[in-house]
A and B are shown apart, each in its own frame.
Chain A
Amino acid sequence: EIVLTQSPGTLSLSPGERATLSCRASQSVRGDYLAWYQQKPGQAPRLLMYGTSYRATGIADRFSGSGYGTDFTLTISRLEPEDFAVYYCQQYVSYVTFGGGTKVE
């Protein structure tokens, strides 16, 4: 099983600041198979990024993704009030697993 470790667990920032979220895999993951989701309290997750760096439909360009192999990053260039949420990375090798999440507060 591929384990995804997200860090930090919590990121305390202010609107307008830059957020950098890390997702580290226990084994190499193809970039095609790495995605990011945003979840707000009481809501379903929402797809942000797929294939490491492709923004999903309707996602603002302040969100960007990068990475390769075992280290992947989600960057929010300037935090907007609606960006404060929990973010999950997800991979697929033989089956889907999610990271434990990073809360941006």
Chain B
Amino acid sequence: EVRLVESGGGLVQPGKSLRLSCRVSGFTLKTYCMSWVRQAPGKGLQWVANLRQDGLERDYLDSVKGRFTVSRDNAGYSLYLQMNSLSGEDTAVYYCAREHCGNHYMDVWGKGTAVAVSS
């Protein structure tokens, strides 16, 4: 069974850092692209970052470039999102999603992990 499970969310002060994890099962990150998508409270979906299956090519939403870094472990079963210099605008539920590398749709989603940035 294909499954994605996020963890690492929580309450963090502005300017601090947090690392989110996404554990996958039923497939390996070495054969799929992956994305992080967030949803602020009461708002719509916003793509944040993705990682190609080679583990090297990455792309980011402009507002997180230089602050967020997406990566994965060598075994290919955990995806990470390192988030630095957090602000209130980063408050959201963060979902990891498996992305079709060719057509860029997201066919499997985790349940999400909530990040709240507040003093």
Residues of A bordering B, CB below 8 Å: 32-33, 35, 37, 39, 43-47, 50-51, 56-57, 88, 90, 92, 95-101
CB neighbours of A56 from chain B (8 A): 107
- The total of interchain contacts (Cβ-Cβ below 8 angstroms) comes to 63
Question: What is the total number of residues of chain B having a CB less than 8 Å from a CB of chain A?
Answer: 23
CB neighbours of A96 from chain B (8 A): 35, 37, 47, 50, 104
Contact present for B105 and A88 (CB under 8 Å): no
Residues of B bordering A, CB below 8 Å: 35, 37, 44-47, 50, 59, 61, 95, 97, 100, 102-112
CB neighbours of B37 from chain A (8 A): 45, 96, 98
In-complex Cβ contact of A101 among B44, B47, B100, B110 (8 A): B44
CB neighbours of B59 from chain A (8 A): 95
CB neighbours of A95 from chain B (8 A): 47, 59, 61
Chain B nearest CB: distance from A102 CB in Å?
10
